[in-house]
Structure 1
């Protein structure tokens, strides 16, 4: 009887870990491309197309595969992304097997730090969703040419405020569900062992 209680304890702890600590590592550009200069002009938006086909959440990671010291990846601001240049990147890696953790919701801007590569299309915008519930309702990340500079007086910013409210509600609902699940599991374990 005691061994079955221990098994159930480990089973429920495993379920809790899966529910609360799930993350995914994405291979940027999939295994066929990796992080490299697009081969033709028609492929110049290939990284944003790849990113738009995936749903990223907080704690997911991006694996940038490239030849060591032959290229690099940088996280930059939106303005630096647009001009394909950064004197003060937020993050830089040159080791070829670079893994970047998406540590917050929002937009991340990636460019190659090697001269001329970004201008040829080696750049990408990744949109990280606030919660798993938001993953089902959020739209894909914007294309390179999207205008994201709405002012406070425009209807677009009013829509954005409503979107933020909905996102905050989704996060609150997810947190409430997590607390409810944790309470139920702890109650079950308490009844089982005491």
Structure 2
């Protein structure tokens, strides 16, 4: 619990040091004039910015003085009820609080000649330091957004997951086993035997009479050779 008061005290000291470092001393009527009847004090005060912590410095001759008065006495140039009275040729007044303060010269006739000053003091604005991120937030891994596109609602899930297959049929040049005949109604299959036409309707072909005789002759010749070899042994 002792950390909080210590922190507040440190902050207050820091604020005071900042205000002291930023404090400015405004010489009335300067740099080319002063607290006298020949200086345009209204133009000078309109060009200044007065902040809490600044100082107001009056430099004047022995024929003048400085009176701090109320708003009503300022407007009527009355110095008999002054809040504070200063003389001596050099007066420095600290502007320690915000608000308006009114000053006139108490010498008769000088206030009506322009030796009057209204000072509006405002609070100094100090920027707070930016918040620092905690170490845990800095060490937390950052998730990168997924680049996988979501499936379209118009596309079925099964079609999006199915592998792509090629629907192109192999060309005659890629399939050496099939050769198309010049006629569109038959497919010719190359073979060592005699070619046989295959109907496109899918029915089994019937062997011709010549091919049947050739097969019977081959069987008879083979049987005769076997019998001769059997008798020889």
Deviation at 1:16, TM superposition (A): 7.4
Structure possessing the higher radius of gyration over alpha carbons: 2
SS across alignment from 2:35: coil
In the alignment, which of 65, 90, 99 is matched to residue 97 of structure 1? 90
2:51 counterpart of 1:57: yes
2:98 counterpart of 1:87: no
TM-score, length of structure 1 as denominator length: 0.55
Query: 1:37 matched to which residue of 2?
Result: 37
SS across alignment from 1:88: coil
1:84-139 superposed Cα distances (whole Å, 9 cap, x missing partner): 01212112111111111112101111101111000001111111012236xxxxxx
* Distance in 2 of aligned mates of 1:48 and 1:111: 12
1:46-103 superposed Cα distances (whole Å, 9 cap, x missing partner): 2122111110011211111011x31101111000000001212112111111111112
Bigger share in helix: 1
RMSD value, Cα:
2.4
Q: Is the 8 A contact 2:68 2:103 kept in 1?
A: yes
* Distance in 1 of aligned mates of 2:33 and 2:19: 32
* Distance in 1 of aligned mates of 2:65 and 2:111: 11
Q: What is the number of equivalent residue pairs in this alignment?
A: 118
* Distance in 2 of aligned mates of 1:82 and 1:131: 28
Q: Is the 8 A contact 1:58 1:103 kept in 2?
A: yes
TM-score, length of structure 2 as denominator length: 0.46
Unaligned 5+ residue runs, structure 2? 1-13, 133-233
SS across alignment from 2:32: helix
Q: Is the 8 A contact 1:57 1:128 kept in 2?
A: yes
SS across alignment from 2:75: helix
Deviation at 1:18, TM superposition (A): 5.4
Q: Is the 8 A contact 2:19 2:124 kept in 1?
A: no
